[in-house]
Amino acid sequence: MAAGALVGCAGKNQVPSIGYGVDAVVASYNGGSTLGANSGTAAVFSRVLTGFFYTGPDGQQVADTDTGTAKEVPGETQTIQYRLNPDGVWSDGTPTSCDDLVLAWSARGGRFTKPGPGGPVPLFDAASTLGYSDIERVECQPGSKDATVTFRPGRTYADWKTLFSAGELMPAHVAAQAANVPNAATALLSGDTAAAERIAEFWNTGWTLTPGKIDATLLPSSGPYRIESFTADDGLVLVKNEKWWGNAAKTPRIVVWPKNFDLKSKVADKEVGVLDIGAGSLGDADLSGFTVGNMPSRGAEQLVLSTGGVLTSPEARRALALCTPRQELYNQLGHPDFEVNSGLGAGPLDSRTLQQDSLYYSAVTGAADRYENPDVAAAKKALGAANLQNPTIRVGYSAPDERRARTIQLIAESCKAAGITVVDASAPDFTAAKLREGAVDAVLAGTAAAPGPSGSLPGVAAVAALHSGQGLDFGGFVNPRYDAIADQLAAERNSTVVLNLLTEQENLLWNEMPSIPLFATPRTIAFGDGMENGIANPTRAGAGWNMDRWVLKR
């Protein structure tokens, strides 16, 4: 079943509630925060928190005109005119306004900092500042439906459609109230640091989602669904938002079952009507009663490596890469039930930031060739250069996951000969933050260390995950030349310059080895028999990208 394949049939009676099983680990409502982006907000809340664009089935940004319109204004300086829908209103009755854009830019632009031990640190724990940090100003009359976003002179951001998108445009009025600030936009635009500190504190932690402990008043919706409840027994319950001004959701209730809610038993108990998981992750789960499709995704299955501890030196990281059986991993785990000869999912993935169907891909990824199959002698030599003897590498991931367990098993068997011990350090409550804390040496996950749905065509998260100062840089990789190349590529439109920059970037990353790409993460996307409008979306947005259109007839 290809991405975009439609499932439908003449049914009997419409089911009033559909279970959606997805291997995201819901932890925050705020998709712009590090926790929200990493835990899969985009795959769960795209139709709860709408934006000017959302990620479509091919990984592309699609305009959501229910939210409003965004138009590039001709001129020397890149300027975008945003106009929110006049009928737009949060589910608590507060109208949507440009204040929400001001909050997003203030939180994601990196402007607000506080003193830290090694210099200024950001007030807001943003997943990524890419694009937002290029914005010079946001013109907004607080409460207005219009915003003019102007980029810095001489700076353009080609992927501007990734800004202010679904899952990331948060309610400024809620943050203002929680921070005891009369108006968030006024305070942030005037540079009121004390107010910004209080707003940042709420933005960072106030939207955390813990089963049994949510306050629905902090979670208004701007989409066809809103959060009703979140408990360990009943999952994350989304219900029709009566204040939604667009086409009403077709099914009154969606129950989201995240990865850490024993998905396998939910499937066995017939509580799931739509399933979006890593292929092979649930092992022998019985998917009879589903139309099942396995397909490559825009996410990059990879080992995200620490740049501290045992893997501090690039030689140590290269040693691990040299004994990792990338071709064998792809053969055994990278293309379950599908054969692809070119493009996405064809062979091991040779880039961390480029998609396999990019026109540049094959021309710039030659540096990956020496890491296709294990070279034990070279791995030993690299260990010697790193002054390491028989190191142990602890690899974490969100458990249970049978494919990832097998991945680590194969790497461990291969690396043993080089004197490297690879240990499975997975846990049901594992998060990528454990890498930053030094509790593990590597994370096995998708793009930007996400446990579930990941990846998109613009690939902003993939770039940010290797860029210094970004929340998604869990391995702590810092390379000024990589940062400079990434920043230039974000604005560059000359194909020859792009080709040269990408070649330099690939050579640099295969030398420094901040991560080891394995293959395009294969996904299993399944729709229950009797499902209408189920459309696979093997990206960060997941199958739930159009959940408001779902109809299940039984």
Q: What is the pLDDT of residues 321-369, one digit of tens each?
A: 999 999 999 999 999 999 999 999 999 999 999 999 999 999 999 999 9
pLDDT computed for residue 118 by the predictor: 87
In sequence order, the 6+-apart residues with CB closer than 8 A to the CB of 525 are: 1, 275, 276, 292, 293, 295, 536, 537, 538, 543
What are the Cα distances from residue 283, in Å, to 21, 322, 400?
Answer: 15, 29, 10
Q: What is the mean pLDDT of residues 391-398?
A: 98
pLDDT computed for residue 74 by the predictor: 95
Q: How many CB atoms lie within 10 A of CB 338?
A: 15
Q: Which of 29-33, 117-121, 232-236, 443-447 has the lowest mean pLDDT?
A: 117-121
Q: What is the rounded CA–CA span in Å between residue 308 and residue 439?
A: 11
Strand residues in 88-224 grouped as ranges (E): 113-116, 119-122, 135-139, 146-151
Amino acid code (one letter) for 226? R
| pLDDT averaged over every residue in the chain | 96
* Domains located in the chain, CATH noted: 68-165+171-204 (3.90.76.10), 213-294+522-552 (3.40.190.10), 298-521 (3.10.105.10)
pTM above 0.95, yes or no: yes
Q: What is the rounded CA–CA span in Å between residue 212 and residue 205?
A: 16
pLDDT > 70: percent of the chain = 98
pLDDT computed for residue 11 by the predictor: 47
pLDDT computed for residue 433 by the predictor: 97
pLDDT computed for residue 5 by the predictor: 52
What are the Cα distances from residue 525, in Å, to 77, 210, 275, 543, 545?
Answer: 43, 26, 6, 7, 13
pLDDT at residue 10 tops 70? no
The dihedral built from the CA positions of residue 337, 341, 347 and 349, taken in this order, carries a sign that is negative
- For residue 259, the Cα-to-chain-centroid distance in whole angstroms is 15
Farthest-apart Cα atoms in the chain, separation: 68
Q: What is the pLDDT of residues 50-82, one digit of tens each?
A: 999 999 999 999 999 999 999 999 999 999 999
pLDDT computed for residue 370 by the predictor: 97
Q: What is the pLDDT of residues 503-545, one digit of tens each?
A: 999 999 999 999 999 999 999 999 999 999 999 999 999 999 9
Q: What is the mean pLDDT of residues 103-107?
A: 98
Name the band, by pLDDT with cuts 50, 70 and 90, for residue 12. Answer: confident
